[in-house]
Amino acid sequence: MKIISNYPNFKNKGGAQDITIQLAKKLNGNIPIVLTDTPMDKIHPDYKKENIHFEKFSIYSIFKYNAPDTVFLSHHRSQTSRLMFLNFFFAGKLKIIHVAHNTFTNLKPLTWLPERIVAISNGVKQNLINYFHIKSDRITVIFNGIEDIFRNTHNRQDRSEIRVLLAGRICPVKQQTELVKQTKGKLLSHIKFYFAGTGAQMDELKQEIGKSDQYFVLGQIDIGKEMPEYDYVCLFSKNEGLGLTLIEGCMFGKPLISNDLASVQDVNINGYNGFVADTWEKLVICLNSLPLPNSEKYQSLSKHSRALYEKRFRASTMINEYKTIIQSFSNQNER
């Protein structure tokens, strides 16, 4: 089968974009094709470096690439809905798989999804069932997977302080600025927060931090190279599909800290490989009671995080599961 991937926004880097690119590359033998609404000159430089053929998402491109052996792997509900509309002009013969990367509570009347749907977490699946009223048997949960670049993570000499990494786009949804507001002046002196990424709230975050010596803004970093320097990985978003940064933390054997979003708890199992706090007050208590990196409790959490990655979040596992659902189209054609 020939896979045509699509996602609207490649102006910035993000988890959904990364997975779209990863699947496009792994599921195609030739140069992968990705349809997007982003002007070609606005695509993020890191994605331009990939061996990917980007093209404008349009009626013309759908006509151009559609064939009996073509599957459109659509990673955004607006583009999926547009594909479903265009399917009228193809007598319902477009082969479409929708990949649901997030949870939503709006635009239900304008959301049109195909028979085959992938949810990247159980929380996303429940959102599809409860809000969009999709039947459970139409949804396959396939966790996002990443390549294993694990190496020894315990190379820091000073283990008396705790370094917590929060990586992601700096914006209201990820709540970096709110986290500083809610925790500043309440954390023990050995707790240090590091914010990796860029985004619309960068200046506001820096202003909120002020002269505090417990919060640091790193900008964009190479997670693969720099993750070993941190002890815990945190995500405390208003909304998440799964949380790729948490999976990266698992891969490096880092214990996790998060809120209680259903999607996030597929990665962070409270007391097993991390800690879950459902309020800001409980987050402060959690942070102030974190086990030090050289403690037995920390080592146990670290071991479990790595084990969870190996069980659920390997790239090879994800690719094989996508191949299985794509193969169902071939089996349908043979009948």
| Range 223-227 average pLDDT | 89
- CA dist 301 and 125 (Å) reads 27
| Range 310-315 average pLDDT | 96
Confidence of residue 116 (pLDDT cuts 50, 70, 90): very high
For 44-48, 106-110, 156-160, which range has the lowest pLDDT when averaged over its residues? Answer: 156-160
Could you read off the pLDDT of 43-95 as tens digits, one per residue? Answer: 999 999 988 999 999 999 999 999 999 999 999 999 999 999 999 988 889 99
Residue 67 CB burial class (10 angstroms; 0-12, 13-18, ≥19): exposed
What Cα–Cα distance (Å) separates residue 232 from each residue in 107, 194, 326? 36, 10, 37
Q: Any residues with CB less than 8 A from the CB of 174 and at least 6 apart, and which? A: 166, 168, 197, 199, 235, 236, 237, 238
| Range 227-256 average pLDDT | 94
Instruction: Give the distance, in angstroms, between the CA of residue 84 and the centroid of all CA atoms in the same chain.
Output: 25
Q: What is the pLDDT of residue 153?
A: 52
| Range 175-182 average pLDDT | 98
Look at residue 310 and tell me whether its pLDDT is greater than 80.
yes
Q: What percent of the chain is predicted at pLDDT more than 70?
A: 96
Look at residue 150 and tell me whether its pLDDT is greater than 90.
no
Could you read off the pLDDT of 118-137 as tens digits, one per residue? Answer: 999 999 999 999 999 999 99
Q: What is the pLDDT of residue 29?
A: 76
Q: How many Cβ atoms from other residues are within 10 Å of residue 66's Cβ?
A: 18
User: ∠ at Cα 104 (107, 279), nearest 5°?
Assistant: 140
Confidence of residue 172 (pLDDT cuts 50, 70, 90): very high
**Better-scored residue on pLDDT, 139 or 30:** 139
Q: What is the pLDDT of residue 243?
A: 87
Q: What percent of the chain is predicted at pLDDT more than 90?
A: 82
